[in-house]
Amino acid sequence: METQPRMGFFTDTSVCIGCKACEVACKEWNAVPEDGLNFSGNSFDNTGGLSADTWRHVAFIEKPVEKPAEGVQAVDLGMPTVGQSTPDFQWLMSSDVCKHCTHAACLDVCPTGALFRTEYGTVVVQEDVCNGCGYCVPACPFGVIDQRENDGRVFKCTMCYDRLGAGQEPACAKTCPTDSIQFGELEELRERAAQRVEQLHADGFEKARLYGENPDDGVGGAGAFFLLLDEPEVYGLPPDPVVTTRDLPSMWRHAGVAAATLLIGLAATFLGGRR
């Protein structure tokens, strides 16, 4: 039987133009309720972050720019300019999404099996099985999973599981006009991403780095990884994410030993009392 290769997202933030087409396409295809209709005052970001009603979130980070390396033009990264050619600040735009972790804590804690691993290696919530317990919400090291206010059930990116079954790419990747969001076999995407980082380094962008592609990191590598132009913290991402359930086996062992010791003590007390 032929094994289905693991599929994933590679989001190259260096070519994101902040158009939010991915947000719109995600909502339209998955029938995600509208949100972000109120002006937040946070640059052009009106959704604020990932939630049960925002499965793709385009972040706009405004920061003062450092002087670009010699020969590098600020407009290469979509930096706005003031006057003739002097950059005033930099927009770091990034379309965030569920990471579809290799070691997914949300799967570990779900008591109903509502969360499951698909044949593509992605993590999906079955909304008709979720009981709204919310255990998965604090378990996610990225703060991705969220409960919907009207019924308490959790929702997040499915990587358009229904489209994958029909041989189509996810809606967000399909609609992205700059190929900032790329979909495909995970190993191939990692190779492509490494080449892109080398290219950016050669062009003078020394801070360019990959985030989530390392299978030896705290979540075993992500099924949705990113090329960033600055530190992860600048984008609101944890620098060293760790699966929150990593200590569960040892905790259960210690609890078992404690329970056994208690039972032995109670038995000894009961038998001693009878004598």
User: What residue numbers does the annotated binding site for [4Fe-4S] cluster cover?
Assistant: 16, 19, 22, 26, 98, 101, 106, 110, 130, 133, 136, 140, 157, 160, 172, 176
Is residue 83 helix, strand or coil? coil
Total H helices, total E strands in the chain? 7, 12
Cα dihedral 248/222/4/117 (nearest 10): 40
Single out the residue of 13, 187, 194, 193 nearest to residue 102, CA to CA: 187
Burial of 193 (0-12, 13-18, 19+ CB in 10 A): buried
Handedness of CA 165, 160, 224, 152 (dihedral sign): negative
